[in-house]
Amino acid sequence: MSLVNAISCNPNPVCLVTLLSDSARHPNIMKACNYHNPAVCIRLRELYGNVTKMAEVWRQATMRSKMP
**pLDDT at residue 67 greater than cutoff 60:** no
Residues 36-52 have a mean pLDDT of: 93
Q: Cβ distance 26 to 19 under 8 Å?
A: yes
Residue with the larger pLDDT of the pair 44 and 64 = 44
Range of the domain at 17: 3-66
Domain count across the chain: 1
**pLDDT at residue 29 greater than cutoff 70:** yes
Beta-carbon contacts of 65 under 8 Å, excluding residues fewer than 6 positions away, are none
Distance of alpha carbon 63 from alpha carbon 38, whole angstroms? 17
Q: Cβ distance 51 to 25 under 8 Å?
A: no
45-65 confidence digits (pLDDT tens): 999 989 999 999 999 998 887
Residue 11 has a CB neighbour count (10 Å cut-off) of 9
